[in-house]
Structure 1
Amino acid sequence: MGRKTIEMKLVKDKASRQVTFSKRRNGLFKKANELVTLCAAEVAIIAFSPGGKPFSFGHPSMEDVSERFLNADPMPKPRGDDPNQEGGMQELNQELTEVLKQLEIEKKRGKELDKALADQSTCIFKKPITQLNKDELMNLKTALEKLHEDLKSHLSEIEASASLLLLNKAIEKSDN
C-alpha cells in the first residue's frame, strides 16, 4: 500500500485534524533539521496546534533567528560563549538525523520480525523441547546464545539512541 495524495483543504474532524497536525509538524521539523545539517542554514519555525499549543524549532535558537530576521541583520552575531553555536549544535543535529534514520530502519526490522513470528514455518524446531535429541538440543542452545548476544547488542544500540534523543531534547529546551 503506497502513499496517497490528499486534497489540500481543511480537515473537518477535530481529532483527525490534530493527528494530521502532529504528523505534518514532525515532518516539517525533520525537514528543517535536515536543512540545517546539510546547508548550515539558520532556521526558525513556529506552529500553533489546532488546540492553540505552540511548537517551535530553531537553529541556532529561536531568539537568534527571530532577532536577525526582525532587525534585517545580514550576518549572525558571533557568540564566543556558546559552545553549541557552530560545531556542537551541528554535530548534535547530524547525530539526531542518524538516530532518526536508525529508528526508521528499526521500525522496518520490527515489522519484518512481526511477520516472521506470524509465519510458523520459520520455526527451527517443530517438536516440543522434551522430544529433541542431543544434537538438536545443542543446536537450540547455540541458537539461543546467539539470540541472547544479538538482543544485548541491540539493547545497547537502543539505549544509546535514546540517550542521544534525550540529550537533544534537553538542549532544545535550554535553547527555548
Structure 2
Amino acid sequence: MGRRKIEMKMVRDNNLRQVTFSKRRNGLFKKANELATLCAAQVAIVVFSPGGKPFSFGHPSVDVVSQRFMNQDYSRTKPPHVVDDDPKEAEGGVQDLNQQLTHLLKQLQMEKQRGEELNKALKANRATCKYKKPINQLNLDELLDMKTSLEKLRENLQGRVSEIEASSSLLLLNKANNESEN
C-alpha cells in the first residue's frame, strides 16, 4: 500500500487528533534534533497539545535559546556548557558531542545488524539440530555428545559475558568522565 498523501486539514475526531499530534510532535522534535546536530544550530520548539498540555524541545535548552532570542545577543546568554565567551569553542564542544553521538549511532546500527545475523544463524541452527528427540529418548553416546556441546556452549557464553561486562564497565567509566567534565 505504501505512503499516501494526507490532505492538510483539521482532524475532526478528538482521539484521532491526539494520536496525530503525538506522532507529528515526535517527528517534529526528531527533525529539530537533526537540525541542531547537523548544523550546530540552537533550536527551541514549544507546542501545546489539543488538550492544552505543553511540550518543548530545546538544544542546548529552551531557556537558553529563548533568552538568546529575546536579547538578540549571544554574548549575554551563552549555553550552560560553554565556559568561555568564545562562540567557536562552544561549536567545538557541540561538534565533539555530535561526533560521539554519530559514533554511538553507528555502533548501535552494527549491533542491530549483528543481532539480525545471530537470529538468522539461530534459525538455521535450529533447522539442523541433531538433538530432535526428547532428552529421555537419547542413548548414552548422544547424551555424552550433548554434554560436551553444552560445556562448549557454557565456555562461549562465559567469554561473551566477560566481553559484555568489560564493555559495560568502559561505558560507565566514559559516562562518569563525561559527567565529571560537565
- The reply to whether TM is greater than 0.5 is yes
- In structure 2, how many angstroms separate the alpha carbons of the residues matched to 1:155 and 1:8? 51
- In structure 1, how many angstroms separate the alpha carbons of the residues matched to 2:16 and 2:69? 34
* Compared CA separation, residues 17 and 118, structure 1 to 2 (3 A): farther
Q: Which moved more, 1:58-67 or 1:45-54?
A: 58-67
- In structure 2, how many angstroms separate the alpha carbons of the residues matched to 1:24 and 1:121? 43
Q: Which moved more, 1:53-62 or 1:111-120?
A: 111-120
Structure 1 length-normalised TM: 0.59
- In structure 1, how many angstroms separate the alpha carbons of the residues matched to 2:7 and 2:162? 46
* Compared CA separation, residues 101 and 79, structure 1 to 2 (3 A): same
Tell me if structure 2 keeps the 8 A contact 1:60–1:89. no
Q: Give 1:20 shift.
A: 2.6
SS in 2 for 1:133: helix
Tell me if structure 1 keeps the 8 A contact 2:44–2:61. yes
- In structure 1, how many angstroms separate the alpha carbons of the residues matched to 2:143 and 2:58? 63
Equivalent residue number for residue 81 of structure 2: 83
Q: Which moved more, 1:128-137 or 1:118-127?
A: 118-127
Q: Give 1:136 shift.
A: 3.0
* Compared CA separation, residues 118 and 32, structure 1 to 2 (3 A): same
Structure 2 residue 141 is the aligned partner of structure 1 residue 143: no
Q: Which moved more, 1:124-133 or 1:55-64?
A: 124-133
Tell me if structure 1 keeps the 8 A contact 2:67–2:77. no
- In structure 2, how many angstroms separate the alpha carbons of the residues matched to 1:44 and 1:108? 34
- In structure 1, how many angstroms separate the alpha carbons of the residues matched to 2:2 and 2:164? 30
Q: Give 1:45 shift.
A: 0.9
Tell me if structure 2 keeps the 8 A contact 1:37–1:93. yes
Question: Could you list the runs of 5+ residues in structure 1 that have no partner in the other structure?
Answer: 172-176
Taking every aligned residue pair, what percent have the same amino acid on both sides?
48
Structure 2 length-normalised TM: 0.58
Q: Render the CA deviation track for 1:27-86: whole Å, top value 9, x for unaligned.
A: 221221121121111111111122211111112222232233344x2x522667833572
* Compared CA separation, residues 13 and 81, structure 1 to 2 (3 A): closer
Equivalent residue number for residue 5 of structure 1: 4
Tell me if structure 1 keeps the 8 A contact 2:45–2:56. yes
Q: Which moved more, 1:97-106 or 1:128-137?
A: 97-106
Match of 2:134, as an amino acid? P
Equivalent residue number for residue 67 of structure 2: 67
Query: Relative contact order, CA 8 A, sep 6+: which one is greater?
Result: 1
Structure 2 residue 29 is the aligned partner of structure 1 residue 29: yes
Tell me if structure 1 keeps the 8 A contact 2:64–2:77. no
Structure 2 residue 127 is the aligned partner of structure 1 residue 121: yes
- In structure 1, how many angstroms separate the alpha carbons of the residues matched to 2:53 and 2:12? 19
Tell me if structure 1 keeps the 8 A contact 2:64–2:78. no
- In structure 2, how many angstroms separate the alpha carbons of the residues matched to 1:116 and 1:16? 42
Question: Could you list the runs of 5+ residues in structure 2 that have no partner in the other structure?
Answer: 84-89
- In structure 2, how many angstroms separate the alpha carbons of the residues matched to 1:122 and 1:78? 68
